[in-house]
Amino acid sequence: MNKSDPELQAVGLTYWDYNYDALIHDKKTLKLMYKTSEKLAQLSNPSLTTLKYLLEVCSREKGSLDCDADKIMAKQMALYPDDAVVYLAPLQYAMNDGNEADVFYLINQMAKANSVQFSTYDSKKLHQELENYMLRNPHSEEGIEYFLNDYIDYFFGTAKPTKAENQYMRDNLADYLSVVAKLSLSWQRPLPSIRPFLQACEQYKELKAQCLDAAKIFYETGDSYLSQMIALAVAEKVHLAQGASALAKAVQNKQDKLKDTRGCLTKKIDIPQLIDGSYQLFLVALDVGIEAGEWAALKHHASLIYENELRVNPDTAHLLNPEMCFEGISEHGFLDAFKHTQ
């Protein structure tokens, strides 16, 4: 929260808010949290990422900080009307309040959007700041020793690493821990609830066309597996609500295929290991993910592993070929899920 960049301030605010109850008597930190949230809420042109983090701690339900969630949601929609994600939080409140007029308006706006920022990855600024922090604050020798002992016990068991292996791990530990920390952060990003989107499209048959159009935006422009699964789930709800059980079943089959494809890719990617240097591939894939999204990161990571296997074990490398995961998949076939029907 002490950084000058609003996006980093919002991230810091969110992480402190996760521990709000424990900070209830820490007046200095609480004062900084309130001051930061107030300053961020008054920004005239904050990034969408900044607003998403700020809304995470200013929700009506939680109310741990004295923020105005309605003003933040209004600012999101005013500044970023072409991004479908900005309508999800207001839609949740509209559904909870039973405000049908707002529900119709928000779904219609989602259908007119051009893209959706529903990323699996945190901001590039956050990852760069983490890297800089770790460079400025290297691990102590005691910390390195403690971690290595745990790592060796877990991965080597009763066997012991050679002197060369031990030295390799010591030399590369800082990079390894940086990757682990970045991966951990990537799993802790604020994502708005999509349940109201599903519920509205199931409940209001009049919104069938708009729901399918909005879902298509999630599928085509979303950069993650999650955004595409959301899109297909909405399409399935719409077809079921219309009594088109055959179409709903076809969409469900597409969901299964997408799930199998992701599962196939992830099976080719082991957990990041220090001893064999495989953690470095995670760092490369993470950078790709931040720039181009989760699917691009998974494909790139699996391809790197396959290329490495071609050099080391060419006879069995074909088993790791990521192209196997996409056999029988037609992008056009998936887009059929969002076609309007009578």
- pLDDT single digits (tens) 275-311: 777 778 887 888 888 788 888 888 888 998 899 889 8
On the CB side of 99, how many CA atoms lie within 13 Å of its CA?
12
pLDDT tens-digit series, residues 106-158:
999 999 999 998 766 666 777 788 878 888 888 788 888 888 888 888 878 77
283 Cβ partners below 8 Å, 6+ apart?
A: 175, 178, 179, 182
Per-residue pLDDT at 24:
63
Per-residue pLDDT at 23:
64
Q: Judge if pTM exceeds 0.75.
A: yes
Q: How many residues make up the chain in this entry?
A: 342
CA distances from 86 to 51, 220, 240 (A): 9, 17, 26
Which stretch of 20-34, 39-53, 218-232 has the lowest confidence by average pLDDT? 20-34
d(CA 331, CA 327): 12
Per-residue pLDDT at 93:
93
Higher pLDDT, 263 or 143: 263
The residue with tokens 């076809």 is 250
Which stretch of 162-166, 202-206, 288-292, 323-327 has the lowest confidence by average pLDDT? 288-292
Helix 27-41 × helix 48-57 angle, to 10°: 130
- Chain centre to alpha carbon of residue 163: 40
The residue with tokens 């708009």 is 210
Task: Work out whether the CA dihedral 34, 1, 40, 15 comes out positive or negative.
Answer: negative
Q: What is the pLDDT confidence band of residue 63, given thresholds at 50, 70 and 90?
A: very low
User: What average pLDDT score do residues 49-63 get?
Assistant: 75
Q: What is the pLDDT confidence band of residue 39, given thresholds at 50, 70 and 90?
A: confident
The residue with tokens 């995961």 is 325
d(CA 275, CA 162): 11
d(CA 115, CA 102): 21
CB 40 within 8 A of CB 5: no
Q: What kind and span of H or E run contains 288?
A: helix 279-292
Per-residue pLDDT at 250:
92
Higher pLDDT, 89 or 330: 89
Per-residue pLDDT at 181:
78
As given in the structure block, the two tokens for residue 301 are 């990571």
pLDDT tens-digit series, residues 171-192:
888 778 877 777 777 666 677 8
